[in-house]
Every structure is written in C-alpha cells, then in structure tokens.
Structure 1
Amino acid sequence: MSREPAPRPEAPEPPDPASPDPGRLGPTSAGPLVVLGLVGLVGGWAVRPVSVALGDPAPRVSWLPPLALLLVAGILGYAAWVTHRVFQRPSQMGRPVPRLLPHQAVNRLVLAKSCALVGALVGGGYVGYALTWVGTSAELGGERIVHSAVAGVAGALIVVASLLLERACRVRKDDDAS
C-alpha cells in the first residue's frame, strides 16, 4: 500500500493592484443608476397599455406618492447633511467631537446605496408613465402627467440625496489609519 502524498495547499495569488480592496465599498457608479432608470421608464411606459389590454382603467396618480417621495428625499438630504457635519467637523478646543459608530456609518452607507438604486427605478417608472399621457386628450391625462412628473423629479431628488449621503460617509484619509 503506497500512500500518495497529500496535496500541498497552493499559495494564495497576490492581489491585483488594479482591483479594489475587497473590504471596501466603492461609490455607486452611474451605470446601474442609468440602467435602473431605463428599466423603470420602460416599466412605467408599459403600465397604461397593459392595463388597457386587460380591460382595466389606467391607474390614477394622486398627490400622495410624489409627496411621500419628496419626504424620503428630504430625510435622505438631512441625513447627508448631518453625516457630513459629523465626519468633517474638526475637533474644537475642549469640546468632544461627536462620532458615528462604525455600524452606524455602514447602515447609512447601505441606506444611501439602496435608496439611490430604488430612486432611479421609481423615478424612471413615473416619468415613463407620464410620457404615455403626453398628447392624449383623456379626461385626467393632464393630472396624471403633472403628478407623475413630480413623482419622477422626486425620484431623481432621492438619487441625488442618496449619492450625497454616500459621499458624506467617506472617511477622511487621516481617519483611515486609526
């Protein structure tokens, strides 16, 4: 009985200097935001023809969705402002500097990334739905255009506020070493 030698564990490959550190998140790029915005645009465009094909009336858009989206954008903008102030505030003479705990910063970063993606999708959906009513003489067409357009702008504001919050979560270079 001969025993084969145990396979030697292979040495790990050295990390590629061009690839990002696997322990760090990169900023949200424009690519996924544009793709989700276009998916939302096509989905919003399809709502009216699909509902008509199914024999249902096209959905009405009240003021509640745009106002709710504007509220979310405002909350994200406020969170971005507060986070920026906490991370960028220099230490003051004799006063303790408020700091975010690491898990709080990660929670805000995850919130920012997810809201940016969802804001692009929802904003594109409302813009697509508004575009299906342009040039029609439907009774409530103008109302649907205005409400959907405001909701689309609110979706874009969510994306902007989310990207600002994501940027506010960046750690300064001098804090990175600690």
Structure 2
Amino acid sequence: MKRQPLAPLSQRAITLAGVVGVACGWLAHRVWDGTNSTSAPLVSWLQPVSLAVIAAILLLLAVITRKQVRERHLLEPQKAVNRLVLGRAGALVGSLVTGGYLGYAISWLGYSGDPLASRRIWLSLAAAAAGLLIVVGGLLLERACRIDPPEADRA
C-alpha cells in the first residue's frame, strides 16, 4: 500500500475557523450586553502586541525551518513533525482569533454613544491584524516543513 502524503491545511478549514471566530466575537459582545452586569471587556494594547510576538516567533521559526530542510541533515524528523503541527495549529487558531477580534470590532460599530466604543474597535482591529500575521506565520511554517519525495518515489 502506497502512503499518501499529508495534504496542506485547506483554505476551507481556515475560512471556517475565521467565520466561527467572527460569530463568537460578535456574540460575546451581545451576550455581555444582555447580562447588564458590567461594561463589556476592553481590548488593551497587550492583546495585539502579544499576538504580534507570537506571529514573529512563527515567522522566524518558518525561516529557520526552511533553511534547515534545505540542508536535510540539520533537522530531525521529530522536530519537523512538531513544527508542522505547530504551523497548522497556529494557522487555525490565528484564524479563529482574527475572526473573534474582527467580530468584536464589528459588534461595536453602532455604539456611537459609548465613549470607549471607538477604542474597542481600533484595538480589536489591531489584534485582528496581528492574528492574521499568526495565520501567515503558521502557513509559512507548515510550508517550510515540506520536503520533496525521494527520487525512488517520483518514478
């Protein structure tokens, strides 16, 4: 039986995670408003900065992995698999987080009376942009883990 290669993460899965994130982010604000217990959570600069740091780590790891895969002797198979899983998880979770912050930002668009609405929108959009960088970093890391099949398998 011939082994099938592992397929790259599908655009459908990434899109679905993003759509679920948008729905959850929008719904979180609506549920929070419905409880009327306290004001909705603020988004601080900590969230987008933290997400940007994670994205930078994934992007750096993608560059390092690509170099190591070209020089096959530098990357152990277990490390390659770990990085592949990290890349795929990063892309999916990054898409979910991007959608979540985007949905949260969208949910504040009609609140011109709330003095913090504008701040919530802009910081949520910044966090969504950083989440998108995580998606890119995850996909690049996944792609960096690809190796060409041995010559015997090509024939």
TM-score of the pair, normalised by structure 1 = 0.79
Q: CA deviation at 1:41?
A: 0.1
The equivalent of 2:67 in structure 1 is 85
Q: Closer, same or farther in 2 for the Cα pair 1:107/1:118, shift >3 Å?
A: same
The equivalent of 1:166 in structure 2 is 142
The equivalent of 1:38 in structure 2 is 19
The equivalent of 2:86 in structure 1 is 111
Q: Which amino acid aligns with 2:54?
A: V
Q: Closer, same or farther in 2 for the Cα pair 1:134/1:113, shift >3 Å?
A: same
Instruction: Give distance in 2, aligned partners of 1:175 and 1:162.
Output: 28
- In the comparison of the two structures, how many residue pairs are matched? 151
The equivalent of 1:126 in structure 2 is 101
- 1:123-174 per-position Cα deviation (integer Å, ceiling 9, x unaligned): 1000000011124211101110111001111111101110000000001234
Q: CA deviation at 1:72?
A: 0.4
The equivalent of 1:71 in structure 2 is 53
Instruction: Give distance in 2, aligned partners of 1:134 and 1:69.
Output: 23
Q: Which amino acid aligns with 1:63?
A: W
Instruction: Give distance in 2, aligned partners of 1:65 and 1:175.
Output: 47
Greater than 4 Å deviation, 4+ residue runs? 174-177
TM-score of the pair, normalised by structure 2 = 0.90
The equivalent of 2:30 in structure 1 is 49
- 1:83-129 per-position Cα deviation (integer Å, ceiling 9, x unaligned): 1111124xxxxxxx751000000000000011111101011000000
Which consecutive unaligned segments of at least 5 residues does structure 1 have? Answer: 1-14, 90-96
SS in structure 1 opposite 2:74? coil
Q: Which amino acid aligns with 1:148?
A: S
Bigger-Rg structure (1/2):
1
Instruction: Give distance in 2, aligned partners of 1:98 and 1:157.
Output: 30
Q: Closer, same or farther in 2 for the Cα pair 1:175/1:102, shift >3 Å?
A: farther
Instruction: Give distance in 2, aligned partners of 1:82 and 1:176.
Output: 28
**Higher share of residues assigned helix:** 2
Identity of aligned residues (%): 43
Instruction: Give distance in 2, aligned partners of 1:113 and 1:176.
Output: 28
SS in structure 2 opposite 1:59? coil
Q: Which amino acid aligns with 1:52?
A: D
Which consecutive unaligned segments of at least 5 residues does structure 2 have? Answer: none
